[in-house]
Amino acid sequence: MRVDQIDISQYESLLNEKAQQTLALFEQIKLPDNIKTIESNNKNYRLRAEFRVWHQDEDSFYIMFDPVNKEKFRVDYFIPGSELLNKMMVAVREHFLNNPILRFKLYQVDFLTTLSGEALVSLIYHKKLDDEWQQHAKQLKQALNEIAPVNIIGRARKQKVLVDKDYVTETLSVQNTQYHYQQIENSFTQPNGMINQAMLNWASVISQSLSGDLLELYCGNGNFSIALAKHFNKVLATEIARSSVKSAQYNLAKNNINNTVIGQSSAEDFSAAYFEGKSVKSLKDIALSDYQFTTILVDPPRAGLDDKTVELIQKFDNIIYVSCNPETLKDNLLAIDETHQVQDLTLFDQFPYTHHIETGVWLTRRSLL
């Protein structure tokens, strides 16, 4: 559905239809009776977005492309976007329309906002950014700071120019505790902040009944690791993207968490090393024998888990699986169902008005029942 054609009055019916279609995928798996669906706001739910800039005569405006026919359409108000994101869209456009230095060869504008009221604006160009551009970008930052704390990034071929910082700091509330997360430009962050907060609370409630040590794969910037650390003796988390690992380590320090180690490794490499009894190359200073793992949390990309990682997670008493793709989740659960039983399945509407939905699953080893 095109974002300019969203009818918010249809939100409930669309979500119900999506939830039913998703649950139908799992008909071969025994599910608990109390399946919940967590609703999103029906508008202003998305914290990040990117727009191409279209120049036409004396005007310049944001455009997106129709997902079906790829035709461009103008976007003056982005219905899914947070209120702060929309305010930034308007203010940035008004500023570059009246500023030839900022407007000339401006190709794209990316926005990242937070629930806690910060913003990051990335201006992407088909030209080299010089000192004059930086001076005008500083003036833009000063103007936008009247709306909210904001940082500006300029990008061009082989150039990245910072007007202050390249990140925002998000604050999320999980079981009445505030956690602070650095979110870096061009690194993955959950787009729907309120739903992310709901997922963290869901995982935290489950984890408070568990014990021992936690292993997490695909940890990103420490989104789950940081919120769940207090429920476990020790946490070991891995992530393949170097920028996310650095951000996660920064976030550990910012939240004064001392029982968690985050290192760089792919899930595939970690699984292979685990079964071969070898140390992970990038985790050579970490002895897996020092951990008493009882729980594993995975939040993989849309491709889901490879066979070796499925085999790995079956070694754990508790599995917390967060999935953005019900199709690959179904395939993984059919394999995991041989050794584990689903205790909780909750749907989170991370992506309203699309067929995508986030699914959280908690499984326990059958021998423990």
C-alpha to C-alpha distance for 232 and 368, rounded to whole angstroms: 19
User: Annotated binding site: which residue ranges?
Assistant: 190, 218, 223, 239, 299
C-alpha to C-alpha distance for 364 and 12, rounded to whole angstroms: 32
∠361-365-369 over CA atoms, to 5°? Answer: 105
C-alpha to C-alpha distance for 159 and 157, rounded to whole angstroms: 5
β 150-156/119-125 pair status = parallel
C-alpha to C-alpha distance for 238 and 248, rounded to whole angstroms: 10
Residues contacting 212, CB < 8 A, separation 6+: 232, 233, 292, 293, 294, 295
81: which 2 tokens?
């976007």
Residue among 122, 111, 188 nearest 161 (CA): 122
- 219 flagged as catalytic: no
66: which 2 tokens?
């129709």
Q: Which of 118, 185, 216, 358 is catalytic?
A: 358
Q: Which of 83, 216, 324, 327 is catalytic?
A: 324
C-alpha to C-alpha distance for 310 and 215, rounded to whole angstroms: 14
User: Annotated binding site for S-adenosyl-L-methionine: which residue ranges?
Assistant: 190, 218, 223, 239, 299
Residue 67, classified by CB atoms within 10 Å of its CB into exposed (0-12), middle (13-18) or buried (19+), is: exposed
68: which 2 tokens?
């079906």
C-alpha to C-alpha distance for 236 and 318, rounded to whole angstroms: 15
Q: Could you give the C-alpha distances from 96 to 102, 151, 199, 266, in angstroms and in order? A: 5, 16, 38, 41
- CA 130 to chain CA centroid, Å, is 33
Instruction: List, by residue number, the catalytic residues.
Output: 324, 358
